[in-house]
Amino acid sequence: MNQVVAAQAPSSITTADGLVIFPNQLYKGLAKLSAEHVHLPADATDHAIVYDPLTGLMESVRAPGFDEDLTPDDAMQRASALSFAGYADWQLPNVPEAVNSVDYSREGPAADLSLYPDAVSAWYWTRQQTAWTLNEAGSSRSFFYVSMDVGGVDSTYAGFRRRARPVRRAAPASQCLVIGQ
């Protein structure tokens, strides 16, 4: 008689970037990391990064200089100059990355405050310029933004001011699982 042995989930996964992720400490599939890249327990509230082990997306939490409304040019400049939690390659998210923080079961803000305690009911810029103003200059350009009030996506002119949440990409822990590390 053949016995099927259940595959055991590893107690930790070390990514190519050196992050140590504990699958049993994920919150809704996401890791809360300290500024020193330590994976914190699921109920932690003092994290600096929300990390998606499947995609490698890292979202900043409480990044300095991003607690106010900015033009998209100012937001992109601040993100590219940001040195936060040991990384210096932050940028504004594209639309899918920006929608990653939306929790459609909530509104006002449409974010899980356990993951994003700095989220407010405001509009958040993406780095994506709309097709009809691509390659134009000045405030007549349009950029997409995500409403963290209800989670909608829209666009508006670059002369407006919105919030922003810098992101970066790391090696996803899922690569390590596929490779078998």
Digits of tens for pLDDT over the chain (181 positions)?
Answer: 445 444 556 799 998 889 999 999 999 999 999 999 999 999 999 999 999 999 999 999 999 999 999 999 999 999 999 999 999 999 999 999 999 999 999 999 999 999 999 999 999 999 999 988 877 777 788 999 999 999 999 999 999 999 999 999 998 877 655 444 4
pLDDT score for 171: 83
Q: Within a domain: residue 118?
A: yes
CATH classification at residue 158: 3.10.100.10
Question: CA torsion angle for 81, 103, 171, 80 (degrees, to 10)?
Answer: -10
For residue 155 the two structure tokens come to 């666009």
pTM score = 0.88
Q: Within a domain: residue 3?
A: no
Name all contacts of 8-13 with Cβ < 8 Å and 24+ positions apart.
Answer: 10/177, 13/53, 13/173, 13/176, 13/177, 13/181
How remote is the C-alpha of 20 from its chain's centroid?
18
Structural domain boundaries, residue 174: 13-179
How remote is the C-alpha of 24 from its chain's centroid?
21
Q: Within a domain: residue 164?
A: yes
How many independent structural domains does the chain possess?
A: 1
Instruction: Print burial letters for 107-138: b (CB count within 10 Å at least 16), e (below 16).
Output: eebbbbebbbeebeebbbbbbbbeeebeeeee
78, 66 in Cβ contact below 8 A? yes
Q: Within a domain: residue 5?
A: no
Q: Within a domain: residue 50?
A: yes
Q: Within a domain: residue 80?
A: yes
Q: Within a domain: residue 160?
A: yes
DSSP state of 135: T
Q: Within a domain: residue 159?
A: yes
